[in-house]
Amino acid sequence: MHPSNEELQTSQEELQSVNEELNTLNAELSKKVDELELLYGDLQNFFQSTQIATVFLDRESRIARFTPAATAVFRLADGDVGRPLSDFAARFDAQDVPQEVTRVLETLVPVERTIGLADEKRSFLMRMNPYRTPSNVIAGVVVSFIDVTKLKETEAALRRAVEERERAERALREADQRKDAFLAVLSHELRNPLAPIRSSLHVIEHVPAGAAAAATAHEIIARQVGHLARLVDDLLDVTRIANGKLQVERRPLD
């Protein structure tokens, strides 16, 4: 029995509909491919241009790929793909880095710490994170190294500056204490001559001018005034020293 014209027409319409759906699906797939290609290009450019040294490890802690920055820092080459990270542990000043990779795989807890290079004065902030695929499968570990050498140097310089300031503050407090002690001694030394001067003046006021007691009183006053003058000169010398105005006269002595 031959199919009728209506059945043929219906089949043709169905085929045409399926063809249109396939064309639409093909256009959508082509669009997705273009988007994926653009995204892949973005990732490739980011991967090549990032200054962060990053190493991708598989579940066996073998190197899967790495950024160009890691090439410069850890002297990696294309032939190092597939080698275990433990082969490069000697580059770090901490030998437990491979064990930490294993710990991240087992616990899925990220690790962050500061490490240095064994043969260079450089410091890095190391971050380890589980590598998750889009389907949330743990495929390995991503290890990134951010150069913090300048930050560490700045922190060390800041610590030195703080320590220097603390030393200066201590020296200032000690100098202030010495000044207070000096003023206390000076006040006592300046007061000592006043008593004999006062007593001698009392004697002069109550004895005749030519009396021996008056002459002795004059000698006492002269001697104590000379002592006061020397104390004042010493005080002026201290002031000159503090102000950097003291002049030293050099001459030979026996």
The pLDDT value given to residue 117: 81
The pLDDT value given to residue 160: 92
Identify the top-confidence range among 5-19, 154-168, 209-223: 154-168
What are the angstrom distances between the C-alpha of 124 and each of 23, 113, 158? 53, 8, 19
What percentage of the chain has pLDDT greater than the value 70?
93
- Compute the half-sphere exposure of residue 59: CA atoms within 13 Å on the CB side of its CA: 7
What backbone torsions phi and psi does residue 241 show, to the nearest 5 degrees? -60, -45
DSSP 52-114: SEEEEEETTSBEEEE-HHHHHHH---GGGTT-BGGGGGGGBS-TTHHHHHHHHHHH---EEEE
User: Under DSSP, is residue 1 helix (H, G, I), strand (E, B) or coil?
Assistant: coil
Contact by Cβ (8 Å): 127, 112: yes
- Evaluate if residue 30 carries a pLDDT over 70: yes
Q: In sequence order, which residues have a C-beta less than 8 Å from that of residue 81 and are 6 or more positions away?
A: 63, 64, 65
Distance, C-alpha 157 to centroid of its chain = 8
pLDDT tens figures, 135-175: 888 989 998 888 888 888 888 889 999 999 999 999 889 98
The pLDDT value given to residue 161: 92
The pLDDT value given to residue 43: 64
The pLDDT value given to residue 129: 92
What percentage of the chain has pLDDT greater than the value 90?
10
pLDDT tens figures, 132-146: 888 888 989 998 888
Report pTM. 0.54
Contact by Cβ (8 Å): 200, 220: yes
- Evaluate if residue 1 carries a pLDDT over 60: no
Contact by Cβ (8 Å): 186, 235: yes
Contact by Cβ (8 Å): 114, 125: yes
Q: What is the mean pLDDT of residues 217-236?
A: 83
- Gyration radius from the chain CA atoms: 46
Residue 196, judged by CB atoms within 10 A of its CB (0-12, 13-18, 19+), counts as middle
- Evaluate if residue 37 carries a pLDDT over 70: yes
Q: What is the mean pLDDT of residues 84-101?
A: 81
Q: What is the mean pLDDT of residues 36-64?
A: 76
Residue 113 pairs with which residues in a beta bridge? 126
The pLDDT value given to residue 16: 78
- Evaluate if residue 98 carries a pLDDT over 60: yes
